[in-house]
Amino acid sequence: MIKFSEFENVDIRVGRIVRAEAFPEARKPAYRLTIDFGASIGVKRSSAQLTERYRPASLEGRLVLAVTNLPPRQIGPFVSEVLTLGVPDANGAVVLVVPDQEVPVGGKLF
């Protein structure tokens, strides 16, 4: 188990996907996402294995939750700057973790 103070160090924020595009160089099918987290964090990039349940056009404009304070991760030729959060469905396809109402980008999960 982790201490609550350790969990508080994880910075999970709301962002809006402004661009989603195919990522053919990824080992597992994925998209490259560009996500706007507002003025305090800015625009960041993420790789996400969402291809089974989502198409790029359906992702653009959606709010998502992402961990914003992990170090960047090199994924092939792409640098992922945030970890977009999702959970597997019964078949293992990733479903995004999202707010159920419109909220401001940059908002912190607490």
pLDDT digits (tens, 9 = 90+) for 20-66: 999 999 999 999 999 999 999 999 999 999 999 999 999 999 999 99
pLDDT category of residue 110 using cuts at 50, 70 and 90? confident
- CA-wise closest residue to 38 among 85, 84, 104, 99: 104
- Measured from the Cβ of residue 53, the count of other Cβ atoms closer than 10 Å reads 14
Mean pLDDT (the chain) is 96
pLDDT value for 41: 97
Surface-to-core class of residue 14, CB atoms within 10 Å of its CB (0-12 exposed, 13-18 middle, 19+ buried): buried
73-75 and 78-80 beta bridge pairing:
antiparallel
pLDDT value for 40: 93
- CA-wise closest residue to 22 among 44, 53, 42, 47: 47
Structural domains of the chain, ranges and CATH numbers in brackets: 11-96 (2.40.50.140)
